[in-house]
Structure 1
Amino acid sequence: MRTIRATGAALGVLMVMAACDAKPEAAPPSPTPTVAASSASPSPRVPDVPRGGDQTISLDVGGQARTAQAHAPAGFKPGMPLVVAFHYYRSDVDTLRRMTRLDTKADQKGFIVVYPETIISGFNAMDCCGDYDDVGFVKALVAHMIEVWQVDRRRVYATGISNGADMTFRMAVEAPGLFAAIAPVSGGFTGWRATDPAFKPSEPVSVVTFIGGADNADVFNGGLAKWRSRVRCTASAKGVYAKAITWTRTHCADGSDVVDYQIGGMEHRWPGGTDVGLGSPETKINAVDVMWDFFVAHQLK
């Protein structure tokens, strides 16, 4: 179980939460990617109609009712990219949306965001939470978005924070050929699943990640080093993004890229977010802007 990161009076509460969560919260069409089938073929319980705006997507996955919230620009059209966004433990979709302003970015840049909803307030990610088939749910959800919403299967991405960030790493490994890139924020390739040397992506998935220097960075850096080792990445460049913010870029044997932003002084937060939930508006880097530029530069072949 990971080290608890919290300050002040919230520490006592977060220590209790740690029993369930590893991290308490305060870049012509191509062939269909290989996706392992879930225990049952997903089918919409309530038909959703691809269009601009917000709506709920309801699926039956292995006999379990699951839902997600979707946002598309007013000028929706087939062939748009898709970003899957995972909230943190003990949080919800509404908080993530207001904190990150991903919907606003989607309207500006022309992509769709879909926010999976959890059953127990946390995703079954790298070392927690619960035993629900969240991997199967996300596979079914993305398959639905490809089939019904006709998103560009070459440009499917994922992001999330904390437990949600962990979930992006698990999806990158267990849904080969589905995601072109992931952007974990304040999360890592750690936990009991990462202890297995065979647990690594079989298809290239590029990674851009944001790590706070005051957020147990040793744990996260260790996990990222493990990821780089397993996909055989070689350091190629380092630089300074802004005062107290540095970055490292590596290129990997499978053709993927891994870029991490080290944000000195930042705790367990979403850099450049609003002052909601774990948002950190004072940080001199906006995670959504940086990750979108990274996503644009990466797509499946």
Structure 2
Amino acid sequence: MKLANVLTLILFAAIPLNMVAQTGSNAQTTGQNTSGSNSQSARPFPTTNYYRSPYARPPGYKPGDYARQAYMRQMQQEEEKRHPGRSQAEQTTQGQVGQQTQQSRRAEQGRQIQSAVQTYLGVTPKGDTSKGYTYQDTVSIDGMTRTFQCHLPPGYKSLRNMPVVLVFHGLQLNGSMMMFLSQFNPVADRNNFAVIYGDGIGKAWDDGHAGRGIDDIGYVGKVIDKIANTVSVDRKRVYACGISNGGYFSQMLACAIPDKIAAIGVVGSTLMQQAANGCHSNRPMPIMFFLGTSDPLIAWGSSGASTANGELNELVDLVGAGKFGGVESALARYGGIMPVPEMIEFWTTHNQCGSARPYISNEPDRDPKDGTRVRREAYGSAGREVILYRIENGGHTWPGGLPYASSGLAGKISQDINASETLWQFFKTHSR
């Protein structure tokens, strides 16, 4: 992954560099400054709300400059604490050594940042198969070159018939940001499967609403072919999941290419009425949902979105739905979004689940402080399951993951269940 891509990822997610800049044993070798001292010691990555960081984005900042300045301020402050007076002396010396030395230091600073970020992401050189490998690749379709991000587990060169999980971002995100949000890479490393994070054109996906004019379905087929020609994968165990707009798109895949997808996962999405009307597949599709009762973009009752979150308008603008004509148009009328009960009825009918009565159980309250509880509703038998994790008080978020929007805006993130881990446990039991 290129440094520029990594920095863009961090800045758009508003992650404080002083938190991300870990330097374990691998990073210390790379992250030495020109005086020969090691870079700053490892820090734990925040598992709670990181948007209140002192490094939150100020108005009008330039990503590259701000990242470098914020990182170096932190480095200088820590150096001053360890060695009072040295930082000022180094600044005086730097002013004397000339432009060449300044460029050398700047290059070294860049390497330190890159090393720190790679340490967190688990990115390693391509030849090192002892750790997971994350990279960007491309496919060509309809005259366009489109990108995707791929993460392979440790020892990927010797693994045979790896399952593949396709993960799709929401509006105004991209694949790299989805990698952070979902935290799917560690799950892949523990269970030996590949993860692909798609990049939507215009940071959006075909969700069933007419008029987009982009062949996202064809793009996914090309991506599956590309990874199958790169490493050994099992085409019968390819799964798709996503959040928000990516969740709508995942359901589109279930209807459009059921011969290529073995199971589906959906977070923070219901179903477009147009997509349901155009779903002519007769193949049952195992599907799992994670939906928050306080998600401002989800309708639990009559058609249209809930207004439980008082900052709904701001969230709509943030995720890009506002360009379709405001809250009412974007959510209640944009494509005809199904409320949750209608969507569940659609999929239980599609999968021929039989009895409309689900098996209901409550998940343990693993984190009482998160303000959520999780109820599991399961319909249908093996190969036809429709499973809903109802997140009481949950927001437009990825359970067990990182925030989707700015501080508090998208609602509460349940830590009682990890969506990525739970999806994998569901996926691995299904094959085409």
Confirm or deny a common fold (TM above 0.5). yes
* Contact 1:67 1:116 (C-alpha < 8 Å) held by counterparts: yes
Describe the shift of the 1:203–1:282 C-alpha distance in structure 2 as closer, same or farther (beyond 3 A).
closer
Which amino acid in the other structure matches residue 261 of structure 1? Y
The structure in which a higher percent of residues are helix is: 2
In structure 2, the residue matched to 1:210 is 290
2: distance between equivalents of 1:226 and 1:276? 27
2: distance between equivalents of 1:189 and 1:183? 13
In structure 2, the residue matched to 1:285 is 417
Counterparts of 1:1-301 in structure 2, within 5 Å, are 52-76=132-156, 77-127=159-209, 130-194=212-276, 196=277, 199-215=279-295, 216-218=299-301, 219-234=339-354, 235-243=357-365, 244-251=373-380, 255-275=383-403, 277=405, 281-300=413-432
Any idea what the Cα deviations from partners look like across 1:180-222, whole Å, max 9, x if unmatched?
111110112223222x2x5143323210111111123331332
Aligned-pair CA distance for 1:102: 0.6
Which amino acid in the other structure matches residue 230 of structure 1? H
* Contact 2:174 2:198 (C-alpha < 8 Å) held by counterparts: no
Please report the RMSD computed on the Cα atoms of aligned residues, expressed in angstroms. Answer: 2.4
The alignment partner of 2:252 has SS state of helix
* Contact 1:270 1:287 (C-alpha < 8 Å) held by counterparts: yes
* Contact 2:152 2:188 (C-alpha < 8 Å) held by counterparts: yes
**Larger relative contact order (CA 8 Å, sep ≥ 6):** 1
In structure 2, the residue matched to 1:40 is none
Q: Which runs of 5+ in 2 are unaligned?
A: 1-125, 302-338, 366-372
* Contact 2:348 2:380 (C-alpha < 8 Å) held by counterparts: no
Describe the shift of the 1:255–1:287 C-alpha distance in structure 2 as closer, same or farther (beyond 3 A).
closer
* Contact 1:238 1:249 (C-alpha < 8 Å) held by counterparts: yes
Aligned-pair CA distance for 1:242: 3.2
1: distance between equivalents of 2:181 and 2:235? 27
2: distance between equivalents of 1:129 and 1:242? 44
* Contact 1:98 1:276 (C-alpha < 8 Å) held by counterparts: no
Describe the shift of the 1:264–1:279 C-alpha distance in structure 2 as closer, same or farther (beyond 3 A).
closer
The alignment partner of 2:236 has SS state of coil
Aligned-pair CA distance for 1:281: 4.4
The alignment partner of 1:261 has SS state of strand
Any idea what the Cα deviations from partners look like across 1:91-146, whole Å, max 9, x if unmatched?
12222111111111111111100111111110012227832100110011112222
Q: Which runs of 5+ in 1 are unaligned?
A: 1-47
- Size of the aligned set, in residue pairs, is 250
Give the TM-score of the pair, scaled to structure 1.
0.76
* Contact 2:254 2:261 (C-alpha < 8 Å) held by counterparts: yes
Describe the shift of the 1:97–1:273 C-alpha distance in structure 2 as closer, same or farther (beyond 3 A).
same
2: distance between equivalents of 1:184 and 1:279? 17
Describe the shift of the 1:282–1:228 C-alpha distance in structure 2 as closer, same or farther (beyond 3 A).
closer
The structure in which a higher percent of residues are strand is: 1
* Contact 2:150 2:197 (C-alpha < 8 Å) held by counterparts: yes
* Contact 1:211 1:260 (C-alpha < 8 Å) held by counterparts: yes
Which amino acid in the other structure matches residue 262 of structure 1? R
Aligned-pair CA distance for 1:273: 0.7
Any idea what the Cα deviations from partners look like across 1:226-254, whole Å, max 9, x if unmatched?
121233223452211235311111116x9
Give the TM-score of the pair, scaled to structure 2.
0.54
Describe the shift of the 1:282–1:224 C-alpha distance in structure 2 as closer, same or farther (beyond 3 A).
closer
**Identical positions, percent:** 26
Moved more, 66-75 or 236-245: 236-245
The alignment partner of 1:113 has SS state of strand
Which amino acid in the other structure matches residue 349 of structure 2? S
Runs of 4 or more above 6 Å deviation: none
Which amino acid in the other structure matches residue 210 of structure 1? F
1: distance between equivalents of 2:167 and 2:282? 22
* Contact 1:180 1:204 (C-alpha < 8 Å) held by counterparts: no
The alignment partner of 2:288 has SS state of strand
1: distance between equivalents of 2:378 and 2:290? 12
